[in-house]
Structures are given as structure tokens and as C-alpha cells.
Structure 1
């Protein structure tokens, strides 16, 4: 069996890993580079129980546990895996005296930490880009192949997918094809009956803060210009600290390499960081960046086989939980492709046909006019 995975992000790389562990021949087709988009620019925060009561509960719990297993088996220090204590609080930019609450020394006096919302038993982190590249490398160790190319379509024999067309006219023959292109999965709706996958743009900064900042994540509320922002701060074991907190709706570029941060959003985030932490205020900024997170209309991932088309599968739409849910998604896809069912989690809440498919002709016109 030969499976072609379209997309070299965390979902695609994890799927490649779990398929390769089953001795399946895998080719990952990636346009720009492994972890080039959200999988390399997200926070990498992991929470076992934050999806409880939602469709993603089983997926999140299984995936959190798999992250720990992968770290133990493959050496998670290489991708910054560690357990965290996680706090919530609120910031007053004009307050400079100590306030009551938990003592999180690296935050400003104007930040009140009100509760511990995660312990090392149920929250953790990875460096998302390093994790994704490690999964791809592990898959390659088991025989998977990475091919840098732009997917332009699918080869079909009636209602059966037989391969992937790439720029230049070549066709990579396949017994199964997985669409895992993040927000760019919407392009596959020109070839398959898929629902809309949107891209929500988020901005982030990475600071060189040194290794003295403890393993503590912080989720804050911050008043700014009449609205309340929700910055998330994640110190990493490599001595950097990742901060995000400003999102917006902008058109998704057709080329992932064309995604650029908005200068005003970055400047706003820099001011926020200087106010919430003296450590951040004095630390060099090593990355100013943006990415588009994939999200379906109902906010639930789209995972499974594509009805009406044999040998076609999709795994996308994980929004802010793509890194968390990558291992369990990859495991489930490997089971589904090789055994015709996922045994560890129920994929019914994520079935692609729960949402109406896009009109391929309309999408094609929109892409041609972009």
C-alpha cells in the first residue's frame, strides 16, 4: 500500500509517522517546507482536559497521552516536551504595585494571577516546529519519503482516487490520499466534496528570555483600546518565550510563504508584552510572525474518509489545538486507512459530510481571481 499525504504540518507528519510504523509506504507532498506555517509558529501548548464536554474530548485526552508516549519513546527533549503549571489572571497596564494572587515572579506587579488552571499532570508543551520535524524524521526512518512540490489536483478513475497531481504534470500514484494542508485544505474542495476550511490569522512573538523562567504558562486578560485581549505566554526549555494574543480575519494567501505579520498588530503585541512582564520588556525579540489556523464552520475538526470518493481522506480544521491533537489524529488516520476504522477514538463527530460541501466551480473562480 502507498499513501500520499498532502501537507507537511503536524497533522500530516504525525499521520506519516503512524502509517510508517505499520510498514505502509508513505509520501508526504509539501509545497514549502515541513512545519512552514501554523505547525511551526504556534504555541505548542497541550491540555488534557480542556476539551472535556466538547466533541474533541476523546481526541484531546488520547492525544495528550500520546505526546507523553512519543516523548518517552523518541526523546521528547529534542522537541522541548515538558510538563507545565498553568495560570490564569488579568493585567492592569496602569497598576504597578503588588496585588493579591499567585506569585508568578516573572510577570509584572500589575498582573494578578487569580487561579491555577493546569498542573503538570494535565498541561504540557512542545516546540511545534521541532515536534513536527521530529515526527517527519521518525517517519523517514521507517521508510517515508518527503517530496517538495505543489499539489495541483488528484488523479481519479471514476469515483476512486488513484494519485496526486503535482506542478509540472507528474502524478504520484497512490492507494490512498490524505488531505492535511491546514487552511489550504480548502483548495482540495475543487477536487473533492469537502466543506469549507477557513484560516484565522494570529500573530506571535518569540523572546530570548534565557532558561531562568520556570515551566509556567500564563493565560491573561488585558484591557487595550476599549477591548480585552487574551495573551498567552509560554516559556520554553530552550530559553525562549512565545507570546500570542492578537487574531484577525484576513484573506488567506494561496502561497504559505506569503503569510506576513501585520506591523500594527505586532507593535500592539510588543507593547502588551512590555507591560505584563519585565522579563519580556528587557529580552531581545527573535521572531515576529503570523500564521493562519485552520477552522471549520462549526469549530470542530474535519477527520475521516470522504463520502462518495474511494481512497480519499481528510484531516484538518483543528484550530488552536492542532499540535495537541496531531498524534491522536495521525494514529486514527493510520487505523482508518489500514483497518477501515479507528479503534482508539470515535471519528463520528468529525466526519466530513456533517457540513455541506463547497461548490467547486465557485471556489475555482475565486482562486483564479486571487
Structure 2
């Protein structure tokens, strides 16, 4: 792993280490930050969430797909590498079975919706083992199969279970969860230091540092992409993640795309038809599941896996959540300026898009290090909140 230690220092000399951090949002980023603050620095956290529960949004409903190498050559390469390592470390600490963590293989399958038999089936297609497939109905219209990773760089975790384990450890070390909505940060009039977070019911949660980590609800520069998913039981435990696509030129919708993430409890988490980029007005944990979109997901999954395939059972769970994204599709990780936050000691960690579960631990570690020491082990300069000059923290869009 390429590791270049970079420093990100606050504009004050030898700041005192915070002892109580207020974290807005109890998803994987907030929980990971609280976990590393507690385990590395013995700093307590108060997590504030609208729902009064942990992982009410995407952190409790996402697929949990982990790819170490898919960001190679991009600005998020180090983040992916470090976080993939941390996921293994967390699995070792908590017990892999307790969070349904395991290494997997992954393939991308190019299909034709025309279902016409090609004149010749390539040897590469014949040799690939597709364990979920009804070959009688599907093999003849598979164009190609691409290897997307193996057990050295692909893994899977069940996000809700991971969040619960993180929370158990945070709570054991003195962390607390408060139900409420943060309206604004409160700063000392003389020093400008953060001293508390004002809630919508008038209460003030005291602390000496504040982190906004509530996904698309974090700031006015955040957007959401709504995704729907179904969980389908399988007859046996599968160990292959599959991305389906087709490139039929005359398809009205540009081709079906479907993603299948298998879990060790004999289920498959299946998604398709991601929504458009938009401002989020639904509350975390109260995202509406749209029946017509679910029908579309099921149609896509069954069309890809075959009429008698392993993914044609009735779903046992339907869900919807938002991926938090920025206009440049890069994360926001770092300290907020005095102008952005209204004072000192405020931070933001959000915008981890479709890699929210993968990047969660490394993002949390970076912010914990930054709060406690003023430095980070990763270079997070490209994720600095200051690249958005009009950034305003929560509340927004409500």
C-alpha cells in the first residue's frame, strides 16, 4: 500500500486535546470517528441523530461492498486502500461472523436483452463459474464476463451489523446517543471556541469539538442519489458479487444494469435503477420506498438471473436510502473554516457517495486524528471543505 504521511495542521499552536466531541449523525462515518476517538485517544463522543437510533439511513441499508483497488489512480486511492485494511482489522477485532464480513470474488457480466443465440460461445464465457445463474435460460445471451476482483481485494460486510459493533464499543467507553436535530454550533464569544450544539428543542449539547457527519443532511452543498434494493433469499450460500449490464444500442433505457451482493446468511442484496442527483428533503430513516421502483428492480434482477435462477424468489426486505454526494463527487473531509462554522473546532466528513461503507472507517480515523492531534496519516487536501466557498452546515433543505 502506498502511504505518504501528510500533515494537516490547525492555525493554532499546540491546541489542547478535546475531551468531549459532539458528532452530528450516527451513521458509519460518525460511529467510526467516535470509535477511533475512544480507542486511540480516550476521547468521549456524544452522537446526535434525528432518528434517535444508529445507522438509520444508508449506513443501515447499503450493500456493504468493499473493493480495495477500484479507485486506483484517482484522488481516493489512498482512502480506499487504508479503509479496506481497517475493515479487515475491525473484522478481526469484532469477529468476522458477527458483522458478516468475508472475502469474495466479483465479476461483471455483459448480457444482451435480445436473448438471441450467438453463432459461437467464447471459451472464456464457458470457463467462468457463475454460481447464481440459470444457465438454461441465460447462458446463450451472455456476451462476456470480466473478472473484477478476488479474495485479495474484494470483501463484503453487512453495514448495520458493523455499525452496531462500533456503537457497542463507543458506548462501552462512555459514548452516548441523543435524539435531536442540531440547528447551529455555539461558540464562546471571547475565544471563538466551540462550546456546544443547539438542538431544535432548545437544548444545548456541550462539547469542545463538533463534527458534521450526517450524509446528505450535512450541508447545503450536499446532494443525494436515492437507491432502492430488495433482499432475496437464496437456496444456498453464494460467494460471488455480480454486476450485470448490457449495451444493446437500441434499448430505450440504454441497457439494464443490476447489482447483486450476496451475503453469508443465504440472501442476496440486489439493486438497480439508481435515482437522480437531488437535494434531500426526506428525513433519515424515513425514506419512502417507492413500489414502482421496487418492481423495476425485481424485473431487472429476474431478467438478469434467468426465469428459474437463484434470484427469482420473493423479496424478504425492501429498502431505500440516499448516497451522499457533492457536485464534484469527492468526499468532504476536514476542518471547517471560522467563516463556515461560525467559530473554531468544527469539522465535516460527508459526501462518500457509493463508497460510504468502504471509506467509513478511514474517514473516521482521519477525522479522529485531526481532532485529537491536528494531523492525518492520509493526504486529505483534495477533500478540504474550503473548496466550496458557499458551504453552510446543517440545517438545510427543511
What is the TM-score when the length of structure 2 is the normalising length?
A: 0.84
Distance, in Å, in 2 between the alignment partners of 1:229 and 1:303 is 34
- Per-residue deviation, residues 288-336 of structure 1 (Å, max 9, x unmatched): 2211110111111000111223110000000000100111111111110
- Per-residue deviation, residues 201-221 of structure 1 (Å, max 9, x unmatched): 1111111114x2421101111
Larger radius of gyration: 2
The answer to whether residue 323 in structure 2 is matched with residue 293 in structure 1 is yes
Query: How much does 1:279 deviate?
Result: 3.6
Distance, in Å, in 2 between the alignment partners of 1:280 and 1:215 is 13
Query: How much does 1:113 deviate?
Result: 5.0
Query: How much does 1:254 deviate?
Result: 4.2
Match of 1:332 in 2: 366
Tell me if the contact between 2:227 and 2:273 (Cα under 8 Å) persists in the aligned partners.
yes
Match of 1:274 in 2: 302
- Per-residue deviation, residues 96-121 of structure 1 (Å, max 9, x unmatched): 86954122031242445512110100
Match of 2:258 in 1: 231
1:264 counterpart (284, 292, 301):
292
The answer to whether residue 148 in structure 2 is matched with residue 117 in structure 1 is yes
Distance, in Å, in 2 between the alignment partners of 1:97 and 1:78 is 45
2:222 counterpart (197, 200, 203):
197
Distance, in Å, in 2 between the alignment partners of 1:34 and 1:125 is 20
- Which aligned pairs between 1:145-184 and structure 2 lie closer than 5 A? 145-158=176-189, 159-184=192-217
Distance, in Å, in 2 between the alignment partners of 1:349 and 1:51 is 15
Query: How much does 1:37 deviate?
Result: 0.7
Q: Secondary structure at the match of 1:300?
A: coil
Tell me if the contact between 2:227 and 2:322 (Cα under 8 Å) persists in the aligned partners.
yes
The answer to whether residue 102 in structure 2 is matched with residue 82 in structure 1 is yes
Match of 2:344 in 1: 310
Query: How much does 1:251 deviate?
Result: 4.7
Please tell me the root mean square deviation across aligned C-alpha atoms, in Å. Answer: 2.1
Count of aligned residue pairs for this structure pair: 355
Query: How much does 1:263 deviate?
Result: 2.1
Query: How much does 1:49 deviate?
Result: 0.9
Q: Secondary structure at the match of 2:357?
A: helix
Q: Secondary structure at the match of 2:285?
A: helix
Distance, in Å, in 2 between the alignment partners of 1:323 and 1:248 is 19
* Structure in which a larger fraction of residues adopt strand: 1
Distance, in Å, in 2 between the alignment partners of 1:255 and 1:112 is 42
Runs (5+) with no aligned partner, structure 2: 1-18
Distance, in Å, in 1 between the alignment partners of 2:176 and 2:391 is 31
**C-alpha distance 251-337 of structure 1, shift in aligned 2 (>3 A):** closer
The answer to whether residue 100 in structure 2 is matched with residue 73 in structure 1 is no
The answer to whether residue 226 in structure 2 is matched with residue 206 in structure 1 is no
Distance, in Å, in 1 between the alignment partners of 2:314 and 2:239 is 20
Match of 1:9 in 2: 27
Distance, in Å, in 2 between the alignment partners of 1:61 and 1:103 is 28
Query: How much does 1:359 deviate?
Result: 6.6
**C-alpha distance 337-281 of structure 1, shift in aligned 2 (>3 A):** closer
The answer to whether residue 104 in structure 2 is matched with residue 104 in structure 1 is no
Q: Secondary structure at the match of 2:81?
A: helix
Match of 1:42 in 2: 62
Runs (5+) with no aligned partner, structure 1: 190-195
Match of 1:357 in 2: 390
Structure 1 stretches of 4+ moved >6 Å: none
Tell me if the contact between 1:209 and 1:279 (Cα under 8 Å) persists in the aligned partners.
no
What is the TM-score when the length of structure 1 is the normalising length?
A: 0.90
Q: Secondary structure at the match of 1:282?
A: coil
The answer to whether residue 42 in structure 2 is matched with residue 23 in structure 1 is yes
Query: How much does 1:55 deviate?
Result: 1.0
Q: Secondary structure at the match of 1:276?
A: helix
Distance, in Å, in 1 between the alignment partners of 2:254 and 2:161 is 34
